[in-house]
């Protein structure tokens, strides 16, 4: 399938500069453009690529001014990034057509209703008492335990495991291998060994959440572990029992949150961060990769390090530590001088 610059300009309300019949069949990053591809320039940092990209068409901002000749055909639009996002969505759907229907063999417990716009892949399992919304896609080998709810338009990718009684909102995406609702890690010491504390709570995931591959979110001991609206969790993250993650907080891969910790809204949390249990983190914090957070955190902080400190203090610490050998030498010299 090919589109011409003219066709794309009409679809996007843009203005062609160059040959309107230039045709493309794929999308690429500007630095990886190939003939027959369309690309875009949204971040001024990458402007230098436009002069030697091999892409056939480049989407640029209305007010882009070239400082050298550009061989690609340009399409000027108001917001190239948004236009590309829409193009990507269209391409994504072409590349992975929406699945519909029930593949066999699959296991759907008696009495569970599946609307006709849903997909249930082969070897998927849906337990007793589940409520599955409209247009839900449950991929092969996914497991939905007894009495779970899954809201409209949510996508459960292959091999996801959702234990009994968990609640998944609307427009949620859970990626392959994620485990939702396994038992929280709770044991009571008893004469040198440990007794299991039954975990009778659940996990509640609100609307518009995306959860990465092989991430684990444990069910609460009592009550719920809660992932609020719009949260985005990357791969291999651990969310322990009774945690709460506030709306629109974004967490990168391999971060761990220990039991009962509450994280607020709109935080940006790097990869491999560790949060101690039973602490509270406010809103709008930026926490650097590999940080360790032992105590409560307010709001609007930039933290980094282990144990984490303010971002600027962390940079200073790193320099201070690097220069320590010189400091030791200097102090030794001062001592020597004093002895004289």
Residues 74-103 interacting with a second copy (rule: CB under 8 A): 81, 85, 88-89, 91-92, 95-96, 103
Measure the CA–CA gap between 284 and 262, rounded to whole angstroms.
14
The nearer residue to a second copy, 66 or 329, going by C-beta atoms, is 329
Q: How many CA atoms lie within 13 A of 20 on its CB side?
A: 7
* Binding to a second copy in span 116-175, by CB under 8 A: 121-123, 125, 139-141, 143, 145-146, 157-159, 161, 163-165, 173, 175
Measure the CA–CA gap between 168 and 119, rounded to whole angstroms.
16
71 binds a second copy (CB under 8 A): no
Order of strands across the sheet that contains 125-126? 107-108, 125-126, 143-144, 161-162, 179-182, 216-218, 238-239, 256-257, 274-275, 292-293
329 binds a second copy (CB under 8 A): no
Q: Of 86, 175, 241, 278, which one is the catalytic site residue?
A: 241
254 binds a second copy (CB under 8 A): yes
What is the Cα 101 distance to its own chain's centre? 28
Give the count of residues interacting with a second copy (CB under 8 A): 105
The nearer residue to a second copy, 66 or 85, going by C-beta atoms, is 85
CA distances from 332 to 58, 319, 324, 339, 340 (A): 62, 20, 12, 11, 13
Closest by Cα among 252, 245, 251, 211 to 228 = 245
Measure the CA–CA gap between 220 and 67, rounded to whole angstroms.
59
Is 193 among the catalytic positions? no
Binds a second copy by CB under 8 A, chosen from 53, 199, 225, 261: 199
Q: Shortest gap between Cβ of 158 and a second copy (angstroms)?
A: 4
Measure the CA–CA gap between 334 and 325, rounded to whole angstroms.
14
The nearer residue to a second copy, 9 or 179, going by C-beta atoms, is 179
* Binding to a second copy in span 208-247, by CB under 8 A: 208, 210, 212-214, 216, 218, 221-223, 230, 232, 234-236, 238, 240, 247
295 binds a second copy (CB under 8 A): no
Q: Shortest gap between Cβ of 204 and a second copy (angstroms)?
A: 14
Measure the CA–CA gap between 325 and 183, rounded to whole angstroms.
49
253 binds a second copy (CB under 8 A): yes
51 binds a second copy (CB under 8 A): no
The residues carrying an active-site annotation are 241
């Amino acid at each position: 399938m090919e589109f011409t610059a003219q066709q794309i300009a009409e679809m996007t309300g843009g203005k062609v500069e160059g040959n309107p019949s230039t045709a493309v069949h794929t999308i690429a990053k500007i630095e990886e453009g190939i003939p027959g591809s369309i690309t875009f320039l949204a971040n001024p940092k990458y402007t230098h690529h436009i002069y030697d990209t091999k892409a056939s068409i480049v989407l640029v901002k209305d007010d882009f001014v070239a400082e050298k000749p550009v061989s690609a055909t340009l399409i000027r639009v108001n917001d190239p990034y948004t236009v590309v996002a829409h193009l990507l969505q269209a391409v994504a759907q072409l590349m992975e057509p929406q699945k519909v229907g029930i593949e066999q063999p699959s296991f759907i417990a008696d009495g569970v209703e599946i609307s006709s716009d849903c997909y249930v892949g082969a070897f998927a399992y849906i337990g007793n008492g589940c409520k599955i919304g409209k247009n839900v896609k449950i991929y092969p080998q996914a497991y939905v335990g007894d009495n779970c709810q899954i809201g409209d338009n949510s996508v459960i990718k292959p091999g996801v495991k959702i234990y009994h009684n968990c609640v998944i909102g609307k427009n949620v995406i859970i990626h392959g291998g994620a485990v939702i609702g396994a038992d929280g890690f709770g044991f009571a010491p008893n004469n040198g060994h440990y007794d299991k504390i039954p975990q009778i709570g659940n996990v509640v995931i609100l609307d518009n959440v995306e959860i990465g591959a092989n991430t684990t979110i444990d069910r609460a001991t009592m009550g719920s572990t809660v992932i609020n609206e719009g949260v985005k969790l990357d791969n291999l993250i651990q969310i322990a029992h009774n945690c709460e993650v506030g709306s629109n907080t974004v967490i990168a891969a391999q971060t761990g949150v220990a039991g009962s910790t509450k994280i607020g809204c709109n935080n940006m949390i790097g990869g491999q961060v560790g949060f101690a249990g039973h602490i509270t983190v406010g809103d709008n914090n930026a926490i650097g990769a590999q940080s360790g957070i032992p105590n409560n955190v307010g709001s609007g902080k930039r933290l980094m390090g282990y144990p984490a400190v303010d971002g600027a203090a962390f940079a200073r610490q790193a320099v201070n530590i690097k220069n320590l050998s010189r400091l030791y030498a200097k102090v030794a010299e001062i001592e020597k001088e004093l002895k004289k």
